[in-house]
């Protein structure tokens, strides 16, 4: 059974940093790209970032480019999102999602975690 468990969310002040993690199990993690998607309270889904199976390619939404960094450790079956210079508008539930193929840009997402809540507030 595929499982994705996000962690690392919490309350943080504007301008500070936070690192999210996603622990994957139930599939060969290193064979698939991964995504981060977020959802602000009461709002729609926003694709945040994606990473290919080998970390060879990554992509970011314009809203987070230059502030967020996606990475993965295939040996630890883990996905990460380093979030710097956080803004109040980054407040959201952050989901990690498994891609359907090797590359994040041409792959959709099939399995999703339950999300971890990030609140940016002073």
- Apex CA 101: angle with CA 43 and CA 36, to 5°? 30
Q: Figure out which of the listed residues 1, 41, 56, 62 binds another protein, where binding follows CB under 8 A.
A: 62
Q: Does 115 interact with another protein (rule: CB under 8 A)?
A: yes
Q: Does 114 interact with another protein (rule: CB under 8 A)?
A: yes
What one-character DSSP code corresponds to residue 74?
G
Question: Smaller CB distance to another protein: residue 83 or 113?
Answer: 113
Provide φ and ψ at 88, rounded to 5°.
Answer: -60, -30
Residue 107 CA to residue 34 CA, distance in Å, equals 9
Residue 5 CA to residue 84 CA, distance in Å, equals 22
Q: Does 33 interact with another protein (rule: CB under 8 A)?
A: no
Q: Does 1 interact with another protein (rule: CB under 8 A)?
A: no
Near another protein in 39-58, by CB under 8 A: 44-47, 50, 57
Question: Smaller CB distance to another protein: residue 8 or 59?
Answer: 59
């Amino acid at each position: 059974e595929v499982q994705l468990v996000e962690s690392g969310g919490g309350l943080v002040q504007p301008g500070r940093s936070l690192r999210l993690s996603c622990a994957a199990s139930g599939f060969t993690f290193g064979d698939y790209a991964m995504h981060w998607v977020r959802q602000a309270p009461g709002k729609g889904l926003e694709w945040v970032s994606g990473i290919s199976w080998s970390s060879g390619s990554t992509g970011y939404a314009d809203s987070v480019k230059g502030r967020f960094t996606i990475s993965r450790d295939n040996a630890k079956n883990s996905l990460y999102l380093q979030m710097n210079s956080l803004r109040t508008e980054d407040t959201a539930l952050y989901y990690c999602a498994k891609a359907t193929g090797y590359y994040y840009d041409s792959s959709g997402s099939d399995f999703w975690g339950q999300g971890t809540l990030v609140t940016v507030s002073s």
